[in-house]
């Protein structure tokens, strides 16, 4: 792969003001040279203005290693006058472009990279790619540019994953977290922990291998202390996964409750527009209505559901709507139970509170229409019903009409799924399952080593557990990641990145 030059369109599909074609590999300059007529030769780290030439009609140009065609800017033709006049009538000119050259190893991939920025006409960009392939390049696979950057040691695996996260971000907070990860926040957190673990392993290995040279064997108390020192930052990192996961992936919130409790009105308040139909008649919503919003920078899918009630004589459409409401509850990460404050807890509400959400999700209670009651106590449960005493749920007083309590409700929703770690902003955090499993492997190895210390197991066996922990840290940054895992990670990228 290192000997091949790859090419791809690096800008999104479709028409645009600018389109970029990127090449990476040892022949990048050579392949581009016949396609462009530049004012000045290519130079590392500098952009050059020029013209794209149409070579599809059989017209031939002679390229040289400088990246210029046989008739560059500034060269006068004695027969026709200035080169400006000739260029105006040159049928080979397709477009004007800016060509940038990045010399190895100071490029994104660590190889020679050339980027051609032209107008974003799909037919023009496809022409450039075809001509580059005809000149000896190969069409890049998804994520292959970033994979080459990883293999060249320009970035580690956590930074490579952050590139894809940044491309796919839909909220500013997602972009911030991805940018921190791209800057190496996670790798910088893990590096000193890994260094301490390696030092401990090296000292123990020396004590075993050179015991006859009067090198002391590390005492059990010191081993236990060092394990604790290595473990502490990893435990904090593992806890960050709750918040990092929801920032990266978002979560689902199902709004449930009795008919006419104000579910759709509250849904519209959270969406901040009239998305669901609201009328005074109970049972207006017969099907689920969903919308994606951002809460504290986290993407949330809100689902408004049909009212829950167990009455004889309801029609088939309402029965199907209730069935879909229960399906939405089972699939949601958080269930928001909306209770009419003027009526109190109903039998259906009590069933949700006492049984919990079918999928084990967190349950919040919105004590809605609070503007119509004179006083709302801290528990929120008053009126003609009450919650069971053993039901530990958070209650927020809200009014979909006036907007009272909506801010507090948003914060409670995020806390319910992200936990206390939602306050983390600039610290490193785990954002996907692969990273979490790697840290769990490292913690598992340390836990086994601690048990081995307590059981006075020989250091040779204890070292096996420490090496297991080290393998987890290596897998986190990609030092020991298998080719299959790499292929899976980079296959999720878009082509051209």
pLDDT digits (tens, 9 = 90+) for 402-457: 888 888 998 888 888 876 655 555 568 899 999 999 999 999 999 999 999 999 88
What was the pLDDT predicted at 414? 86
Cite the beta strand spans of 25-155 per DSSP E.
Answer: 36-38, 46-53, 93-102, 113-120, 138-139
**pLDDT attached to residue 449:** 94
Q: What percent of the chain has pLDDT over 70?
A: 78
pTM for the predicted model, two decimal places: 0.77
With pLDDT > 90 as the criterion, what percentage of the chain qualifies?
36
Cβ neighbours for 338, distance < 8 A, ≥ 6 positions apart: 255, 256, 257, 261, 262, 263, 266, 365, 366, 368
pLDDT of residue 395: 85
Residue 2 pLDDT class (50, 70, 90 cuts): low
Question: Does residue 163 register a pLDDT over 80?
Answer: yes
Mean pLDDT of 65-92: 48
Which residues have C-beta within 8 Å of that of residue 472, sequence separation ≥ 6?
A: 438, 439, 440, 441, 442, 443, 444, 445
Residues 6+ apart with CB under 8 A from 363: 334, 335, 336, 337, 352, 353, 356, 357, 393
Residue reference for tokens 């806390």: 415
Position 478 scores a pLDDT of 84
- Answer yes or no: is pLDDT of 375 > 80: no
How large is the average pLDDT for residues 73-77?
42
Lowest mean pLDDT among 82-91, 220-229, 405-414: 82-91
Long-range contact pairs involving 87-90 (C-beta distance under 8 Å, separation at least 24) = 87/51
- pLDDT for 383 equals 36
Computed over every residue of the chain, the mean pLDDT equals 80
Q: Which residue has the higher pLDDT, 7 or 79?
A: 7
Give the pLDDT band of residue 351 (cuts 50, 70, 90).
confident
Q: Domains in the chain, ordered, with CATH?
A: 6-140 (3.30.1360.120), 162-240+429-490 (1.20.120.430), 249-423 (3.40.50.300)
What letters, b where the CB count within 10 A reaches 16 and e where it falls short, cover 306-341? bbbbeeeeeeeebeebbebbbbbbeebbbbbbbbbb
Taking the CA of residue 281 as centre, how many other CA atoms within 13 Å lie in the half-sphere pointing to its CB? Answer: 5
pLDDT band at 356 (very low <50, low <70, confident <90, very high): low
Least confident of 172-181, 339-348, 456-465: 339-348
Q: For 301-325, what is the mean pLDDT?
A: 71
> How confident is the model at residue 403, as a pLDDT?
85
Among the residue ranges 164-178, 289-303, 354-368, 400-414, the one predicted with the least confidence is: 354-368
Q: Is the peptide bond before 47 cis (omega within 30 degrees of 0)?
A: no
For residue 179, the SS3 value is: helix
Grade residue 390 by pLDDT with cuts at 50, 70 and 90.
very low
Q: Tell me the Cα Rg of the chain.
A: 31
**How far is the C-alpha of 431 from the C-alpha of 20, rounded, in Å?**
30
**Per-position b or e across 462-496, b if 16+ CB within 10 A of its CB:** bbebbebbbbbbbbbbbeebeeeebeebbeebeeb
User: Higher pLDDT residue, 68 or 447?
Assistant: 447
Between 82 and 175, the more confident residue is 175
| Dist. CA 348–CA 359, nearest whole Å | 18
pLDDT at 460 over 90: no
Do you know the residue count of the chain?
497
Residue predicted with more confidence, 100 or 57: 100
Contact 414, 296 (CB under 8 A): yes
d(CA 160, CA 149): 8
Pick from 177-181, 388-392, 408-412, 458-462: least confident: 388-392
Distance of CA 20 to the CA centre of its chain: 24
Taking only the tens place, the pLDDT of each residue in 255-268 is 888 888 888 888 88
CA torsion through residues 151, 154, 157, 163, sign: negative
Alpha helices by DSSP H, 28-105: 28-32, 83-89
325 pLDDT exceeds 90? no
For residue 30, the model assigns a pLDDT of 94
| Bigger pLDDT: 102 vs 254 | 102
What is the pLDDT at residue 210? 57
Least confident of 27-36, 357-366, 427-436: 357-366
Highest mean pLDDT among 20-34, 237-251, 291-305, 327-341: 20-34
DSSP-derived secondary structure letter, 370: G
Answer yes or no: is pLDDT of 7 > 60.
yes
In the block, residue with structure tokens 């064997």:
217
The bridge status of strand 16-24 relative to strand 6-9 is antiparallel
pLDDT surpassing 60 at residue 211? no
* Region for residue 239 given its phi and psi (left: phi exceeds 0; alpha: psi -120 to 50; beta: otherwise): alpha
- What is the C-alpha to C-alpha distance for residues 178 and 183, in angstroms, rounded to an integer? 9
Structural tokens at position 29:
């300059």
pLDDT at 87: 53
How much is the average pLDDT of 371-384?
52
């Amino acid at each position: 792969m290192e000997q091949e030059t790859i090419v791809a369109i690096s800008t999104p599909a479709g028409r645009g003001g600018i389109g970029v074609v990127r090449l990476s590999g040892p022949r990048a300059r050579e392949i581009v040279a016949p396609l462009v007529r530049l004012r000045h030769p290519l130079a590392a780290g500098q952009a050059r203005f020029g013209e794209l030439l149409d070579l599809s009609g059989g017209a031939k140009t002679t390229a040289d290693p400088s990246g210029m065609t046989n008739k560059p800017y500034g060269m006068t033709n004695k027969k026709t006058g200035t080169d400006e006049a000739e260029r105006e009538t040159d049928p080979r000119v397709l477009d004007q472009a800016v060509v940038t050259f990045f010399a190895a190893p100071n490029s994104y991939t660590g190889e020679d990279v050339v980027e051609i920025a032209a107008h974003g006409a799909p037919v023009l960009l496809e022409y450039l790619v075809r001509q580059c392939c005809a000149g000896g390049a190969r069409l890049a696979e998804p994520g292959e540019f970033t994979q080459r950057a990883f293999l060249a040691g320009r970035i580690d695996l956590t930074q490579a994953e952050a590139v894809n996260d940044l491309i796919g971000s839909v909220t500013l907070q997602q972009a911030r977290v991805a940018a921190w990860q791209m800057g190496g926040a996670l790798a910088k957190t893990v590096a000193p922990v890994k260094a301490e673990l390696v030092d401990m392993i090296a000292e123990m290995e020396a004590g075993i291998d050179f015991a006859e040279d009067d090198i002391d064997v590390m005492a059990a108390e010191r081993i236990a202390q060092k394990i604790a020192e290595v473990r502490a930052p990893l435990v904090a990192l593992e806890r960050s996964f709750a918040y990092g996961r929801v920032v990266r992936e978002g979560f689902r919130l199902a709004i449930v409750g009795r008919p006419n409790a104000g579910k759709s009105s509250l849904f519209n308040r959270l969406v901040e527009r009239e998305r669901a139909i609201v009328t005074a008649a109970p049972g207006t919503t017969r099907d689920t209505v969903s919308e994606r919003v951002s809460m504290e920078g986290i993407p949330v899918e809100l689902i408004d559901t049909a009212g829950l009630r167990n009455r004889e004589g309801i029609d088939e459409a309402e029965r199907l709507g209730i069935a879909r409401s229960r399906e939405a509850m089972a699939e949601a990460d958080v269930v928001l139970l909306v209770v009419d404050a003027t009526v109190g807890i109903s039998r259906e509400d009590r069933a949700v509170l006492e049984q919990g959400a079918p999928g084990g999700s967190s349950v919040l209670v919105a004590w809605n229409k609070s503007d119509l009651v004179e006083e709302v106590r801290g528990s929120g449960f008053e009126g003609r019903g009450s919650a069971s005493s053993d039901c530990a749920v958070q209650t927020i007083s809200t009014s979909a009409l006036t907007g009272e309590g909506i801010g507090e409700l948003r914060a409670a929703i995020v806390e319910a799924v992200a936990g206390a770690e939602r306050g983390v902003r600039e610290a490193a955090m785990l954002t996907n399952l692969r990273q979490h499993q790697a840290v769990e492997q490292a913690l598992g190895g340390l836990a086994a080593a601690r048990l081995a210390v307590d059981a006075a197991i020989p250091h040779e066996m204890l070292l096996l557990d420490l090496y297991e922990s080290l393998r987890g840290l290596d897998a986190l940054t990609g030092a020991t990641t298998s080719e299959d895992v790499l292929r899976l990670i980079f296959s999720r990228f878009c082509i051209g990145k």
